[in-house]
Amino acid sequence: MHDQTQNKKISSGIFNGVYRDPSSPTYPFFKQQKGFASAFYQNGLEYNTTNNNSGELKITKFDQTNRILSGTFFFTGTNISTGEKVNITDGRFDVRY
């Protein structure tokens, strides 16, 4: 999922395991865990989730018939070079897969 507005980009994804358990649709933004979610924000500099940042991606709709995945997310991203942090709140997505 990504949103490009005025050269700004927010991306997130579920890695090392696909969405597979409707009873547990929330993925914390951590790395190096099975089924982890990751995100970044880019506005000329890149801000990534790390194991020390909070945030989550929540699947709110998994429509296998129409192949639509919907959800919400929030996270804190850190610029690795500067240590500066940004807070991304109230994120929402609807994607066809």
pLDDT digits (tens), the chain, 97 positions: 444 445 566 665 554 444 556 667 887 776 555 555 677 778 888 888 877 777 888 889 988 899 998 999 898 888 889 999 989 899 898 988 8
Q: Which two tokens stand for residue 6?
A: 């005025």
Look up the pTM and report it: 0.71
Look at residue 16 in the predicted model and tell me its pLDDT: 44
Rounded Cα distance between 63 and 66, Å, is: 6
Q: Which two tokens stand for residue 26?
A: 């929330």
Give the residue from 17, 83, 7, 14 showing the smallest Cα distance to 41: 7
Domain range for 25 is 2-96
Rounded Cα distance between 84 and 92, Å, is: 24
Contact 77, 88 (CB under 8 A): yes
Query: What total number of domains does the chain contain?
Result: 1
Look at residue 10 in the predicted model and tell me its pLDDT: 64
Look at residue 15 in the predicted model and tell me its pLDDT: 47
Q: What is the DSSP letter of 15?
A: -
